[in-house]
Structure 1
């Protein structure tokens, strides 16, 4: 139990820095409320869970290969740029103020979370963090510890998402349409910034593997 609790705290710490998933969650939470923001988070966690078990089955060695990682940076950059551009272009679309009926599908928000999570940053994170944890667990003859640690980290991320979206949903009640539009555009620029960071990582990786 102490191992699980320790890694719940690790999960919270991991989720604190602003990333692409956090930006998309906040954006959807502001525009359409708690459930849409949480749907993005659940979409991201779906990929996380799949990756954890895939790494447990040996995917880490494949994802660590340069020929796999290099195109992933470019694909991820392209997707995040398009998502950011769409956020800016359609910043005034699909805004539902507190008390109004939401027309956007929950599944659409969930699907956005899935797509954002299939990014190089997310994949490389799981390879680096859980690859090390998995190796250590096996070296100690306790492979089941890996699953306990994974459950702890995922629980910490889930707690972070719920806490963040609770704050967002409360803040949303005090915002008007223009303010939500401005914040949505800011989220779009942040996503484009992440795309730029992925391109930077792609260039650095080429230099290393040249």
Structure 2
């Protein structure tokens, strides 16, 4: 049980830094409430779960190959450009104030979470930082140890998401529609900034192999 709590804290630490997923969660939480913000987080956790499964199956070495990682930069940039542009273009749409029923579907928010999570930063992090830890923890005679570590990490991320969205839900009650609109625009600009960084890394990686 101690192993579970250790990696739960590790998962909480993973989720603390402000990244693209946090930005999108906050935006959706303000525009459409706790459930939609959480849908984004669940989308991100779906990718995290798939990555843990990939590491469990021994695919970390394949994902660590430079020629496999390079396309991730441009793919991640395309997804973030899509989500960032949509955030700015529809900044004044689908806004529901506290007490109103959201018009945006749960699946649309979940999809955004998945798209944002499929980014080089997220993939490389799992491979480089936790790949070795998770791989070393796998014992063919005791697969439950690996499962406990992976579950602990995902639980930590989930606790972070719930805590963040609780704060967002409280803040949302005192925000006007105009304020939420501008938060959405700023969030979109930040996501486009992440996309620009990914494009830069893609070009830099291409130069390194030419």
Change in CA separation of 1:13 and 1:90 when aligned onto 2, cut-off 3 Å = same
Write the deviation string for residues 24-72 of structure 1: whole angstroms up to 9, x where unpaired.
Answer: 1111000000000001101111111111011110111111111211111
Per the alignment, residue 181 of structure 2 pairs with: 181
Paired residue total: 210
Which runs of 5 or more residues in structure 1 are unaligned? none
Write the deviation string for residues 102-128 of structure 1: whole angstroms up to 9, x where unpaired.
Answer: 111111111111111122111111111
**Does 2:161 match 1:170?**
no
SS in 2 for 1:92: coil
Query: Partners of 1:152 and 1:204 in 2: how far apart?
Result: 36
| Aligned-CA RMSD value | 1.8
Which runs of 5 or more residues in structure 2 are unaligned? none
Per the alignment, residue 23 of structure 1 pairs with: 23
Per the alignment, residue 114 of structure 1 pairs with: 114
**Does 2:98 match 1:94?**
no
Per the alignment, residue 81 of structure 1 pairs with: 81
Query: Partners of 1:176 and 1:144 in 2: how far apart?
Result: 49
Query: Partners of 2:125 and 2:93 in 1: how far apart?
Result: 33
Per the alignment, residue 34 of structure 2 pairs with: 34
Change in CA separation of 1:135 and 1:107 when aligned onto 2, cut-off 3 Å = closer
Query: Partners of 1:134 and 1:92 in 2: how far apart?
Result: 43
Query: Partners of 2:118 and 2:49 in 1: how far apart?
Result: 12
Write the deviation string for residues 152-182 of structure 1: whole angstroms up to 9, x where unpaired.
Answer: 1111000000000000000000000000001
Which sits farther off after the overlay, 157-166 or 56-65? 56-65
Query: Partners of 1:104 and 1:15 in 2: how far apart?
Result: 25
Shift of 1:205: 2.5
